[in-house]
Amino acid sequence: MRAWKVHQFGDPAEVMTLEENAGDFEPGPGQVKVQVEAAGLGLPDVFMCADNYPLTPPLPFTPSQEAAGRVIAVGEGVDTSLLGTRVLGPTLFQAQRGGLADACLMHAGGAFPIPDEMPGEEAAGFFIPYLTAWIGLVRRAKVGAEDTVLVLGASGSSGCAAVQLAKAKGARVIAVAGGERKVEFCHGLGADAVIDHRAEDITARTLELTDNRGASVIFDPVGGKAGRAAFKATAFEGRFVIIGYASGEWPKIALPETLPRNISLVGAMPVGWPAELLKEAHRDLIEHWQKRELKASNVQVFSFEDALKAVQHIAAGKVEGKVVVRVGPVS
């Protein structure tokens, strides 16, 4: 079995290696083994290589937190009817069995069936970005048609998902991206307006676009100076949804600053939720996908042999949508 492995921490170029004979494994109780069609990658995979991520697995590990493929073996206590089912879901990367391999492990309860018409390359980039957007916008921020949503990092994977999902829920969406190419990309996603943070001030332009009211929901996977600028443009009773820190640092927000405008700081992470809620989220997201309201096809695909290039592509900030590695054909 082929697998990309990280045996020591450092720059991905120095620590990721492809092993042609990585050894086989079987699923444990409550687990399924999935023949991988495609694996999704994101900034956490870059951070994990450098041991700069809260959920970094023990060495040696295989990167990729999500994948899509076909169930080829089930562990003790798992319904055998799952065998042969095409699924997407989070991998057991913390158990060192991520998706950058011919086969990975998933929890049986976290392996969600996908429509036959959904290509593996779309499915592999679907679960984490869109579930993150759903938890942040639907579950935590309760977004609706009356909202104006400001999405930072809108050309990245979770930002791209947030733009589409907020539009699908009827909200007005202002996307933030850097450079003409990414601005055009965000317009193509359906954003009502796009702020080029390289040429425009995020705070001033957001206030201008909202008649000085500000955005009622901020979706922030970036942090840093961009997050700070977005906070200053948060509306009265706005919800500032904290997703991550792609910039390398969290936004600097002092708690007393939330009081005058009654702003809520809302943490959102797609972990720790009960199985029934995750199933609800998956059903809702697939329904939007089938209506073509979510464009999961906007993925950047790399071959399995070029997985290292894919990780470096993410580290260099060149992402538009979701980075996916094609592993094997549908069988």
- pLDDT of the residue at 298: 67
- Share above pLDDT 90 across residues of the chain, in percent, rounded to a whole number: 85
The pLDDT of residue 260 is above 50: yes
Q: CA-to-CA distance for 203 and 284, rounded, in angstroms? A: 33
Query: What is the pLDDT confidence band of residue 213, given thresholds at 50, 70 and 90?
Result: very high
195: pLDDT strictly greater than 60: yes
- Containing H/E element for 38? strand 31-41
Upper half-sphere CA count for residue 255 (Cβ side, 13 Å): 0
Averaged over 105-128, what is the pLDDT? Answer: 92
Give me the pLDDT at residue 330, please: 55
pLDDT 10s digits, 32-90: 999 999 999 988 899 999 998 888 999 999 999 999 999 999 999 999 999 999 999 99
CB 114 within 8 A of CB 283: no
> From CA 173, how far away is CA 189, in angstroms rounded?
10
Which pLDDT belongs to residue 7?
94
- Residue 331: per-residue pLDDT: 43
Q: Calculate Rg over the CA atoms of the chain.
A: 20
pLDDT value, residue 297: 59
pTM equals 0.83
Going by C-beta distance under 8 Å and a sequence separation of 6 or more, which residues neighbour residue 133? 158, 161, 162, 164, 165, 166, 219
Average pLDDT over residues 174-191: 94
Q: Report whether pLDDT(114) > 80.
A: yes
For the segment 276-301, the average pLDDT, to the nearest whole number, is 90
Q: Residue 203: its pLDDT value, please?
A: 98
Instruction: Report the C-alpha gap between 174 and 196 in whole angstroms.
Output: 11
Least confident range of 10-19, 88-97, 114-123, 316-325: 316-325
How far is Cα 263 from Cα 300, in angstroms, rounded to an integer? 36
CB 298 within 8 A of CB 3: no
Q: Report the mean per-residue pLDDT for the chain.
A: 94
Beta strand pairing status for 103-107 and 193-196?
Answer: unpaired
